[in-house]
Chains A and B, each alone.
Chain A
Amino acid sequence: MTMADTMTAPHGSSRTYVGTRTIRPDGVDKVTGRARFGADFNLAGQLVGRVLRSPHAHARILSIDVSRAAALPGVKAIVTRDDFPDQSSEFVPAGEMMMNYRDVVRNVMAREKALYEGHAVAAVAATSAAIARRALKLIEVRYEVLPHVIDVVEAMRPDAPLLHDDLYTAGVEPRPEKPSNVAKRIEIAQGDIEAGFHKAEVIIEREFRTAPVHQGYIEPHAALASVSEDGSAELWCSTQGHFIVRAHCARLLGMDIARIRVTASEIGGGFGGKTVVYLEPLAIALSKKANRPVKMVMSREEVFKSSGPTSGATVRVKLGATRDGRFTAAFAELKYQAGAFQGSPVQPGVMCAFAPYDIEHVKVIGYDVVSNRPKVAAYRAPGAPISEYAVESVVDELAKTLDIDPIDLRMQNAAREGTKAAYGPKFGPIGFEETLNAIKKTEHWNAPLRKWQGRGVASGFWFNIGGETCVSLTVNEDGTVSLVAGTPDIGGLRASLAMVAADELGVPYEKVRPIIGDTGSVGFNFLTGGSRSAFSGAMAVVEAAKQIKSDLCARAAKLWDVKLDEVEFERGHVKPLGAAADKVEPMSVADFAKVAGKTGGPIGGNGRINAQGAGPGFGTHLVDLEVDPETGRVTILRYTVAQDAGRAIHPSYVEGQMQGGAVQGIGWALNEEYVYGTDGKLQNAGFLDYRMPVASDVPMIDAIVVEVPNPRHPYGVRGVGEVPIVPPLGAVANAMEQATGIRFTELPMSPPRVLQALKERGLHKV
């Protein structure tokens, strides 16, 4: 359900489609199998590319001999570290995270050392998969196996095996004398933390651990590259940002950006995990060497071992409050795994930790720690679910200690318009309290529970971002509209942008055909991430439509021989005003299309913006669950999400984000984790053992779309994609506490861990 329309439409636009549940324009192709995803592209004469990956968690690469593999008939190209020039240290944005080209080149192809099991060491292109596989076996890599470290706390110890001998902890004074695995220490603070805790009448302090989890997109990474003899490259790949892929490949391979044309395939899920490059530069490098197209597709095992995941972490939270429930001080210390290279999402983790609350004295410290695991990639609200899980658990415990309703306690301390967040800004209009109220008003909140059942509530925050966005709109000869966007559509973007374009131009939705253009057909776009694509894309559509509308007004004034201020664009028509109104009939967009050639030529607009004003997003989740005291299995019985969407362009796809995020969070809370052996190897690199939620694991997810319009967006839109994965971890843990009386401080709460906890307390039933 959605709340009433509280926004007025931008000037001259109609409000026919935004807020309705249209059929997505790319839908039919997706239900008939016609839609082409990453691995569905093929070219005549293409070769099969395969990657040789390190079997060791940590090893020096002494030598790589490819001569026997190269001699195998059918092998057309081999690339190793020698094919990728070294890069200077330079940090560039990657989604909401930062990355360093010096590390990127080492992550796509190991150089001095292999730093995790699955780290790429060489790649082969051959005429068949069988030959490529045989060739990989003929590549002789001499390793010097080194001691490894997997756990974040162990990696921080002074005597831990060192991944990078040139990594000195940034953010500490004086600069450490010795290198370590701690890449960075960060801190945010406001007020006087000591004074704040001194004022507290109750203080709760707990330490939590979370396991690394994978984004779990169902489509493995795939890339098809074709480099011509003149050095121009075409690339088809599954990515959240083909302009970013282009930039990375150009940089890593020393090519001109204009020489690389990247087409984003339909993308089979990303969740942040497809904001970086893995196969793409390898495929281009192989194709360049072989002078043939090269196709590369990861296996599921490679996806688990060599891409993603997000950090596992240790988080300590201390929260103080007065007896009547006012938070006086908050402290947290976060230790996040970055994987083999620095750049965990600890920064956003630090910034988000206490963002939902108005607290005078706050201090949060974060550590970015490398260990012998795959380099983490962004995962839906990167970093936030981890720190907010810990905070929401402590808030829940505080509510119980003070005997205050957990929603009331949150309400009492909630950030609202004008609250200064500890991470810096003062909030504008936000909808946090509205989500709490919405949950409290549900029938769910007061429904009865039985023994071994529990109910938990938790809230969550995410910044959302805007960024560079280009959309082109073309009015075709017959009055239909072509829309070209450049941010891959993961979950209904084309529908949303077409709805906005239809409303802006006053044309039927079915007459707008949106596509995601390649890097040569539309201006630069930052990637789909940060919950930005519908937010920024809609702004760019409004801008492009504005150009069309003012152009049509100018044409009408000329045609009708009236002044520009005697015409107006309204509901798809240019109308004469004043005296002119009696002389001429209004002209529709389609009318202009018919006479475009005689009135100034083709009709179109280009929205080129750097979108600002992304509205912060808040959500509150409510969950009922039941624990089986015999097996430790947890069943989710009921789930309700309330989230502020600002304004839902397409309510179904907004609900879909909320439902999907909730279920990903349930998986994170209950079952998903990377399991390592003492040998540093991943033991569950497959969907059977890495247990994501299936349909029978979850109930219907009730979604309440709260709409507190974002005043800085023409349609009031806020990003919606990431917030919903933030609250579930805390909500489920809080429900577990109610069901069992046990505060679970370690994720996942999988059956073995739950069973162990029940046994320790004599609650296990045989």
Chain B
Amino acid sequence: MGKHHLTATVNGDEVEFLCETEETLLDVLRDTLHLTGSKEGCASGDCGACSVMLDGRLVCACLVLGCEVGGRRIETIEGMARGEMLHPLQQKFLDHAALQCGICTPGFLVAAKALLETHADPTETEVRYWLAGNLCRCTGYDKIVTAVMDAAAEMRKG
């Protein structure tokens, strides 16, 4: 069977691509569209390193088939900054040293952004449970949670 021909919107741009039936959205993003900011840590939806937004919903790109995204809207880490302006979460991750190796960082940022879009003033517990699907082995989460809380506070100021 030949490849599927699809179009979708990725970070605001319309993209056209071919994909095999068994390829995941993560494969399409990384291998076909060369957007390697989304990472593969497990390929089973357990680590969250491939977190992306699909039609405004937080998903693991490794659990979505490429063929499923035709006509849909995808946002990845590569679309988070606006020109030279980092998103407040990105800036706060830097300010608070919320990353060490950085492999989990894109997934955490995408997931945290999704949280703050619906919960402008989350408690520490809410942040921790929302981010429980994202594994970080370096930081012990302390500075990540601090950075997300601080970004939320700054975004509330507008």
Contact = CB atoms under 8 A, between A and B. Distances in A.
Report whether chain A binds chain B. yes
Interface of A: 21, 23-24, 26-28, 30-37, 39-40, 42, 130, 215-220, 266-271, 297, 299-300, 490-492, 650, 652-653, 655-657, 659-664, 686-688, 692-698, 700-701, 703
Interface of B: 20, 22, 30, 34-44, 46-47, 49, 76-78, 80-81, 86, 90, 93-97, 99-106, 109, 124-125, 127-129, 131-146
Contact of A30 (B44, B102, B136, B145): B102
Contacts of A39: 30, 36, 39-40
Given A660-B140, A693-B141, 14 more contacts: A31-B109, A36-B36, A40-B30, A40-B36, A300-B47, A490-B100, A656-B138, A657-B100, A660-B137, A688-B44, A694-B134, A694-B141, A696-B129, A700-B146
A33 B76 contact: yes
A218 B103 contact: yes
Most buried by A among B36, B38, B128, B138: B138
Contacts of B99: 27, 30-31
Contact of B38 (A33, A655, A697): A33
Most buried by A among B94, B100, B125, B135: B100
Nearest to B27: A129
B42 A37 contact: no
Contacts of B100: 269, 490-492, 653, 656-657, 660
B88 to A, nearest CB: 11
A363 to B, nearest CB: 36
A269 B104 CA distance: 10
12 contacts: A23-B95, A27-B93, A33-B37, A218-B47, A268-B104, A299-B43, A300-B41, A650-B97, A652-B143, A656-B97, A659-B141, A694-B132
A33 B97 contact: no
Contacts of A664: 137, 140
Contacts, number: 187
Given A40-B36, A686-B44, A267 B142 contact: no
Contacts of B138: 269, 490-491, 656, 660
Nearest to B96: A652
Given A21-B97, A491-B101, A687 B135 contact: yes
Given A23-B95, A267-B101, A696 B42 contact: no
B140 A701 contact: yes
Given A31-B109, A300-B41, A700-B142, A694 B135 contact: yes
Given A27-B94, A218-B47, A664-B137, A33 B106 contact: yes
Nearest to A128: B20
A652 B93 CA distance: 12
A661 B76 CA distance: 30
A35 B106 CA distance: 10
Contacts of A662: 140
Contacts of B127: 695
B13 to A, nearest CB: 15
A24 B137 contact: no
A300 B5 CA distance: 30
A701 B141 CA distance: 9
Contact of B132 (A269, A492, A652, A695): A695
